[in-house]
């Protein structure tokens, strides 16, 4: 084969749909004399022998608690397709074996049409989920692979309704992966397809609840808080009706976060506390720790400084393990707490650490927001000249990242810059802009009210 195989031909090769005569030239193209690097790279996630032999293997992603959470998910999925007893145990064992292989190498030897594709489907979905903090783009890739596997599961004896359920679940998880990766248009399209497939399936309540839960999160990030809470409430009721307290607690925690985004931090705190009381904290420590982080965040929003500080100091070591971006977020929360308590020296050190951490992580917008927080501290300390220079740099950085342009945010920043240029800016005005810019992240419809110096 002198030319590269087409994308369609490679997809059919991955799915095992080529005849031996068609597949032969593709294999030769991939492996003869080292093979085509471009095509090998495209197919490496699906075939272990195509991976770079000199590359360092990825660290295993499937920690013990991840596997425990995964076991609960596959047991629920097996029940939904009426697979029980020894067969369910065998399926879970094989799926865990494949998941371990994915965690160790980031690739999987089983093709989409290989007999026993259901365990691969489960393993690929679990691995996709495990990438949500470390590699959102690969999370999308593996969720998409699950949608391709799902459509072939009818060849293993599953009925048309069951296959529709498998596809609906995979497309729902793909929508969630696209949301995590900030690919919002693709997320909308995938979620629409998930619900369309669900309508042709068995109507399995737990699958419906999961899709409602994912859609609620999607709507929440779009600022459609009322619709988001309605979807989450429906999901929670289904989970409670099926006696799944873990899932119901998870939804309550998510609901609390979106209540906070909607400007109801006290209600959000109540939901998070109720959710924490329902979940198995040790069995799903990541969920518990994420809930604790959001609890601290809402306490800060509520200006309950001392409660927030006590919770942060008590749990900071375990919260720091949530991910690279969480550590500077914790520093930023500590800075806001200290500023709220009037401890300006401590606030300055915390904001400086947060700014440096965000810069190292390439999170320019967050670094610039924290620079404005630091500006308010310097202004309160009387260091007006330093504060003016820092504010100018931060405002310039924030204006540069408004893509697509957000009129309200741009207006707030331009008015603040004008106040500094006229030597009329106050710490209170800077703080009002920072608070608005944080709010508009979760409420695109928010409007800025200019605060006179």
Distance in Å from the first CA to the final CA of the chain: 71
CA distance 188 to 191: 5
> What pLDDT score does 304 carry?
96
> What pLDDT score does 450 carry?
64
Global confidence as pTM: 0.73
- Please tell me whether residue 24 adopts helix, strand or coil conformation: helix
Q: Are 164 and 198 in contact (CB under 8 A)?
A: yes
* Nearest one of 373, 317, 382, 323 to 347, comparing CA atoms: 373
Q: Which residues of 12-32 are buried (b: 16+ CB within 10 A; e: fewer)?
A: bbbbeebeeeeeeebeebbee
Cα 446 to Cα 182, 336, 364, 424, 451: the distances in Å are 20, 22, 22, 25, 15
* Nearest one of 303, 281, 228 to 258, comparing CA atoms: 228
> What pLDDT score does 407 carry?
83
> pLDDT in tens for each of the 453 residues of the chain?
557 777 777 666 555 455 545 655 665 565 444 456 667 666 555 443 344 433 333 333 444 555 555 555 555 555 444 444 444 555 556 666 666 666 555 555 555 455 567 788 888 888 888 888 778 888 998 899 899 999 988 887 889 999 999 999 999 999 999 998 889 899 999 999 999 999 999 999 999 999 999 999 999 988 899 999 999 999 999 999 999 999 999 999 999 999 998 889 999 999 999 999 999 988 888 899 999 999 999 999 999 999 999 999 999 999 988 877 889 999 999 999 999 999 999 999 999 999 999 999 888 999 999 999 999 999 999 999 999 999 999 999 999 886 556 788 899 999 999 999 999 999 999 999 999 998 888 777 667 776 655
Q: Are 334 and 377 in contact (CB under 8 A)?
A: no
């Amino acid at each position: 084969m002198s030319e590269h195989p087409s994308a369609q031909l490679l997809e059919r090769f991955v799915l095992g749909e080529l005849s031996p005569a068609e597949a032969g030239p593709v294999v030769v193209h991939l492996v003869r004399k080292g093979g085509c690097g471009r095509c090998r790279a495209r197919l490496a996630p699906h075939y272990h022998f195509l991976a770079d032999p000199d590359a360092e293997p990825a660290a295993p992603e499937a920690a013990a608690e991840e596997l425990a959470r995964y076991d609960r998910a596959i047991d629920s999925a097996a029940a939904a397709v009426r697979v029980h007893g020894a067969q369910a145990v065998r399926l879970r064992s094989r799926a865990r074996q494949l998941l371990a292989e994915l965690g160790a190498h980031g690739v999987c030897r089983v093709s989409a049409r290989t007999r026993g594709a259901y365990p691969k489907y489960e393993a690929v979905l679990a691995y996709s989920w495990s990438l949500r903090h470390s590699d959102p783009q690969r999370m999308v890739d593996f969720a998409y692979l699950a949608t391709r596997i799902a459509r072939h599961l009818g060849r293993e004896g599953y009925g048309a309704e069951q296959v529709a359920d498998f596809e609906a679940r995979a497309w729902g998880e793909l929508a969630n992966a696209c949301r995590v990766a900030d690919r919002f248009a693709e997320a909308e399209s995938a979620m629409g397809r998930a619900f369309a497939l669900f309508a042709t399936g068995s109507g399995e309540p737990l699958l419906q609840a999961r899709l409602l839960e994912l859609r609620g999160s999607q709507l929440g990030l779009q600022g459609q808080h009322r619709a988001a809470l309605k979807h989450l409430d429906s999901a929670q009721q289904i989970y409670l009706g099926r006696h799944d307290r873990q899932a119901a607690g998870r939804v309550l925690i998510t609901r609390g976060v979106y209540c906070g985004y909607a400007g109801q931090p006290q209600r959000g705190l109540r939901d998070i506390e109720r959710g924490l009381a329902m979940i198995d904290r040790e069995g799903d420590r990541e969920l518990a720790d994420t809930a604790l982080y959001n609890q601290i965040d809402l306490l800060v929003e509520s200006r309950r400084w001392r409660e927030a500080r006590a919770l942060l100091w008590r749990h900071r070591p375990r919260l720091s393990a949530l991910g690279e971006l969480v550590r500077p977020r914790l520093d930023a929360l500590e800075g806001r707490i200290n500023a709220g308590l009037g401890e300006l020296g401590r606030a300055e050190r915390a904001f400086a650490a947060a700014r440096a951490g965000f810069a190292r992580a390439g999170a320019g917008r967050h670094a610039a927001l924290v620079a404005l927080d630091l500006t308010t501290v310097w202004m309160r300390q009387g260091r007006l000249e330093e504060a003016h220079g820092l504010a100018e740099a931060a405002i310039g950085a924030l204006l540069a990242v408004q893509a697509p342009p957000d009129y309200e945010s741009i207006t707030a920043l331009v008015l603040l810059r004008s106040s500094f240029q006229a030597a009329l800016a106050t710490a209170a005005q800077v703080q009002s802009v920072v608070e608005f810019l944080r709010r508009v992240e979760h409420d695109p419809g928010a409007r800025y009210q200019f605060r006179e110096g």
